[in-house]
Amino acid sequence: MPADKEVVSATTQEEMIRFVIDERIRELACTGQRWFDMRRLSNDPLFKDITYTHTLGSKTWTLSPERLTLRLPAKILQQNPGMPDTP
C-alpha cells in the first residue's frame, strides 16, 4: 500500500483527465486496458491531437488511428461476402 496519498495539482478539466489517464497507464499495465483507452481517446474531441509513438533503438513507429480498429474475423467475412473489411 502506498505510504502517502498523491495530491492532484490539476487546475483544469483537461489536466485532470490527463492525470487519470497517466494513472491508468501505470495501474493497469499488462492488463490489455490501454488499447481501449487509446481507442476511446482517439474519438474524443478534447484529445484529437494525441499521437502514439514507440521507439526501439533508432527506429520509431507511429500508430495511425486506423490501427485502433479491430479487424473482422475471416469467418465473418467469408459468411458475408458483401461486408467490407475494416482498414
Query: End-to-end distance of the chain based on CA atoms, in angstroms?
Result: 44
Residues spanned by the domain of 51? 13-79
Give domain status of residue 3, yes or no.
no
Distance (Å, rounded) from C-alpha 9 to C-alpha 15?
9
What are phi and psi for residue 55, nearest 5 degrees? -115, 130
- CB-CB contact of 28 with 34 (8 Å): yes
Per-residue pLDDT, averaged over 12-35, amounts to 88
pLDDT at 66 over 80: no
Give domain status of residue 32, yes or no.
yes
pLDDT at 75 over 90: yes
Give domain status of residue 44, yes or no.
yes
What are phi and psi for residue 7, nearest 5 degrees? -95, 125
pLDDT at 87 over 90: no
Please tell me the pTM assigned to this model. Answer: 0.60
Of residues 4 and 57, the one with the higher pLDDT is: 57
Total structural domains in the chain?
1
Distance (Å, rounded) from C-alpha 83 to C-alpha 65?
21
Per-residue pLDDT, averaged over 32-54, amounts to 84
pLDDT at 82 over 60: yes
